[in-house]
């Protein structure tokens, strides 16, 4: 019989890593959805005989506005992958620094306290990676360990929390920071009028989120325990075989072209209930024990599939729906924004189990059990 | 524009979208989408909801027509598409 996948089993006497804070940063350029629809109609008016199509697609995603890395008029000047990726590095470093400073300040820590930095993104590439640029910019220690992760897509927020917690189980005196920077607007393909691209142009926004996690020994030594956030109890990665075509990028000379199939909500609907139940059962819990759901706001159809499969009542994913409406889908940063909202509202409350979950290209899910 | 011309135009769009018959029983001998009015968009051509919207948008662009939401409700076969296009072009 194969071993149950997941984080190491609980070892007596080793407290779990804890989430100390969530920081975030948005670009200053915010546009409501009407303004964005009007801009896209100007852009695609000549190739779409019926511009109403675009309006309808952009209304259906239930997003009311989005932050953009650049002012809207600057996107016309992004005439190549080089220009878009240069903007990603420039703006991403700036935004990442702000999110990280915010998270560290909320945790009462400074850059020199960080032992390991995990960086996730799927909307631009850089070597040296953004985390390396932030070592210089923020003054992180020269011996800081860095793990830049590209390619996990929307699942990387949840997976990043899980990997940082895995690390802290081995180094329980350490501080780890997870930083997600996603500038989805810079990946937009202006010549691609395929439906996935038209939907993506209405759904995805820009933002950065950072999470400070502290190892169990360290967190348990903190005098003011009340300021500490939830423990990361255990996590599980779930991979769905032969679903590579469901979602991802096709990467070429023009940059990142979105791959999105109508199967995403079906894949979620078919698997998530069994996966969540099996995961929770391993911890002696059931779905009804989860007091706080922290889900990635993929899009309305995915969220409806999630609610249906998990039998969630109307309010269970309210924070997720609100995040989608207010800033759009920020890929890996989104679930961390929802986590920040939950922490800000004092959830999960003391002792309450919470489930943080996201899905992404592969296709795959990451389930993370938290406890307040 | 004759029904045959419209049907041939739809076939060209489907092939540009890389849509092929889902099953060999509906393929023509050359492997192309057959020019048949009774071909079912979901059952025979395996069109998912996103592909279906893409087909409609491409048809609007190609035939210079606007399909209204009530039209879309009645489209299940290639023949239904031909009828809607003919009506909207009138």
- CB contacts of A48 in chain B (<8 Å) are 57, 60-61
Q: Tell me, yes or no, whether A134 and A30 share the same domain.
A: yes
Q: Tell me, yes or no, whether A32 and A105 share the same domain.
A: yes
Q: Tell me, yes or no, whether A157 and A106 share the same domain.
A: yes
- CB contacts of A196 in chain B (<8 Å) are 50
For residues A147-165, one letter each, b for 16 or more C-beta atoms within 10 angstroms of the residue's C-beta and e for the rest, the string is bbbeebbbbbbbbbbbbbb
Q: Tell me, yes or no, whether A352 and A246 share the same domain.
A: yes
- Model pTM score: 0.90
Rama region for A108: left / alpha / beta (φ>0; ψ in -120 to 50; rest): left
Nearest to A175 by CA among A225, A108, A98: A108
Residue A154 among the catalytic residues: yes
Q: Which domains does chain B have, with CATH numbers?
A: 3-89 (1.10.1200.10)
Q: Tell me, yes or no, whether A203 and A263 share the same domain.
A: no
B49 with A262: Cβ contact below 8 A? yes
How many domains are contained in chain A? 2
Tell whether A3 is covered by a domain.
no
Q: Give the 3-state secondary structure of residue A194.
A: coil
Q: How far apart are CA A316 and CA A280, in angstroms?
A: 17
- Residue B49 burial class via C-beta count within 10 angstroms: exposed 0-12, middle 13-18, buried 19 and up: middle
Nearest to A366 by CA among A150, A158, A167: A158
Tell whether A13 is covered by a domain.
no
How far B25 CA sits from the closest chain A CA (Å)?
A: 25
From A170, A203, A220, the end of a domain falls on: A220
Q: What is the pLDDT of residues B4-21, one digit of tens each?
A: 899 999 999 999 888 888
Tell whether A10 is covered by a domain.
no
Per-residue pLDDT averaged across A25-46, rounded?
A: 92
Tell whether A322 is covered by a domain.
yes
Q: How far apart are CA A173 and CA A219, in angstroms?
A: 8
Q: Tell me, yes or no, whether A26 and A169 share the same domain.
A: yes
How far A48 CA sits from the closest chain B CA (Å)?
A: 6
B50 with A195: Cβ contact below 8 A? yes
Q: Is the pLDDT of residue A224 over 60?
A: no
pLDDT at A12: 60
From A156, A188, A220, the end of a domain falls on: A220
Q: Tell me, yes or no, whether A345 and A238 share the same domain.
A: yes
Are B26 and B44 in contact by the 8 Å Cβ rule? The answer is: yes
B50 with A261: Cβ contact below 8 A? yes
Per-residue pLDDT averaged across A21-38, rounded?
A: 96
Q: What is the pLDDT of residues A309-348, one digit of tens each?
A: 999 988 999 999 999 999 999 999 999 999 999 999 999 9
Mean pLDDT over each residue of chain A, to the nearest integer = 92
Tell whether A253 is covered by a domain.
yes
Task: Report the CATH number that the domain containing residue A337 is assigned in CATH.
Answer: 3.40.47.10
Tell whether A335 is covered by a domain.
yes
Contacts of A250 (CB under 8 A, 6+ apart): A256, A257, A259
Write out the residue range of the structural domain in which residue A148 sits: 18-220
How high is the ipTM of this complex?
Answer: 0.84
Q: A355 - beta bridge partners? A: A293, A369
Q: Is the pLDDT of residue B26 over 70?
A: no
Q: Are strands A116-121 and A65-68 parallel, antiparallel or unpaired?
A: unpaired
pLDDT at A11: 54
Q: Tell me, yes or no, whether A27 and A160 share the same domain.
A: yes
Q: Tell me, yes or no, whether A216 and A244 share the same domain.
A: no
Q: Is the pLDDT of residue A3 over 60?
A: no
B49 touches chain A (CB under 8 A): yes
Are A333 and A157 in contact by the 8 Å Cβ rule? The answer is: yes
Q: Is the pLDDT of residue A231 over 50?
A: yes
Are A309 and A269 in contact by the 8 Å Cβ rule? The answer is: yes
From A167, A200, A220, the end of a domain falls on: A220
Q: Tell me, yes or no, whether A82 and A179 share the same domain.
A: yes
Q: A329 - beta bridge partners? A: A204
The CA-based angle A62-A65-A71, given to 5 degrees, is 145
pLDDT at A221: 57
Q: Tell me, yes or no, whether A243 and A208 share the same domain.
A: no
Q: Is the pLDDT of residue B29 over 50?
A: yes
Q: By CA distance, what is A262's nearest residue in B?
A: B50
- CB contacts of B51 in chain A (<8 Å) are 195, 262
Q: What is the pLDDT of residues A149-183, one digit of tens each?
A: 999 999 999 999 999 999 999 999 999 999 999 99
pLDDT at B27: 66
Q: Is the pLDDT of residue A202 over 70?
A: yes
Rama region for A154: left / alpha / beta (φ>0; ψ in -120 to 50; rest): alpha
Contacts of B11 (CB under 8 A, 6+ apart): B32, B33, B35
For residue A352, name the pLDDT band (cuts at 50, 70, 90).
very high
Angstrom distances, CA of residue B55 to CA of A22, A200, A259, B5, B65? 43, 18, 17, 17, 13
Q: Tell me, yes or no, whether A206 and A268 share the same domain.
A: no
pLDDT at A346: 94
pLDDT at A182: 98
Q: How far apart are CA A346 and CA A340, in angstroms?
A: 10
Tell whether A80 is covered by a domain.
yes
Nearest to A263 among B48, B53, B61 (CB): B48
Q: How far apart are CA A277 and CA A293, in angstroms?
A: 14
Angle between helix A264-281 and helix A300-310 axes, rounded to 10 deg: 40
DSSP A13: T
B51 with A262: Cβ contact below 8 A? yes
Q: Does residue A10 or residue A18 have the better pLDDT?
A: A18
pLDDT at A24: 97
Tell whether A7 is covered by a domain.
no
pLDDT at A225: 47
Q: How far apart are CA A16 and CA A9, in angstroms?
A: 11
Q: Is the pLDDT of residue A120 over 80?
A: yes
């Amino acid at each position: 019989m194969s071993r149950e996948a997941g984080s190491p089993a609980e070892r007596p006497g080793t407290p779990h890593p804890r989430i100390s804070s969530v920081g975030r940063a948005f670009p200053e350029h915010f546009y409501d959805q009407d303004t964005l629809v009007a801009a896209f109609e100007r852009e695609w008016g000549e190739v779409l005989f019926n511009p109403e199509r675009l309006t309808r697609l952009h209304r259906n995603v239930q997003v009311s506005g989005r932050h953009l890395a650049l002012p809207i008029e600057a996107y016309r000047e992004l005439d190549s992958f080089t220009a878009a990726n240069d903007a990603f590095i420039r703006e991403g470093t700036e935004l990442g620094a702000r999110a990280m400073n915010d998270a560290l300040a909320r945790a009462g820590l400074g850059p020199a306290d960080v032992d390991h930095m995990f960086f996730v993104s799927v909307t631009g590439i850089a070597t040296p990676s953004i985390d390396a640029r932030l070592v210089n910019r923020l003054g992180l220690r020269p011996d800081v360990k860095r793990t830049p992760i590209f390619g996990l897509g929307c699942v990387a927020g949840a997976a990043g929390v899980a990997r940082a917690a895995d690390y802290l189980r081995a180094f329980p005196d350490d501080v780890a920071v997870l930083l997600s920077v996603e500038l989805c607007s810079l990946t937009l393909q202006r010549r691609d009028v395929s439906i996935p691209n038209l939907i993506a142009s209405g759904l995805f926004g820009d933002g950065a989120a950072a999470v400070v996690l502290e190892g169990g020994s360290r967190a348990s030594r903190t005098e003011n325990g009340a300021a500490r956030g939830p423990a990361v109890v255990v996590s599980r990665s779930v991979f769905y075989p032969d679903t590579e075509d469901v979602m991802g990028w096709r990467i070429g000379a023009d940059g990142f072209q979105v791959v999105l199939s109508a199967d995403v909500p079906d894949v979620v609907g078919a698997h998530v209930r069994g996966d969540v139940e099996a995961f929770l059962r391993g911890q002696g819990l059931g779905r009804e024990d989860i007091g706080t759901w922290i889900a990635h706001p993929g899009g309305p159809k995915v969220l409806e599939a999630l609610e249906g499969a998990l039998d969630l009542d109307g309010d269970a994913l309210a924070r997720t729906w609100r995040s989608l409406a207010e800033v759009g889908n920020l890929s890996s940063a989104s679930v961390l924004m929802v986590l920040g909202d939950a922490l800000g509202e004092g959830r999960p409350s003391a002792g309450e189990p919470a489930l943080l979950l996201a899905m992404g290209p592969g296709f795959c899910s990451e389930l993370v059990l938290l406890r307040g | 524009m004759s029904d045959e011309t419209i049907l041939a135009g739809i076939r060209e769009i489907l092939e540009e979208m890389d849509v092929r018959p889902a099953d060999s029983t509906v393929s023509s001998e050359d492997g192309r989408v057959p020019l048949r009015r009774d071909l079912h968009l979901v059952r025979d051509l395996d069109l998912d909801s996103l592909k279906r919207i893409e087909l409609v948008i491409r048809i609007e662009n190609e035939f210079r027509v606007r399909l209204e939401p009530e039209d879309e409700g009645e489209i299940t076969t290639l023949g239904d598409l031909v009828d809607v296009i003919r009506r909207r072009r009138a």
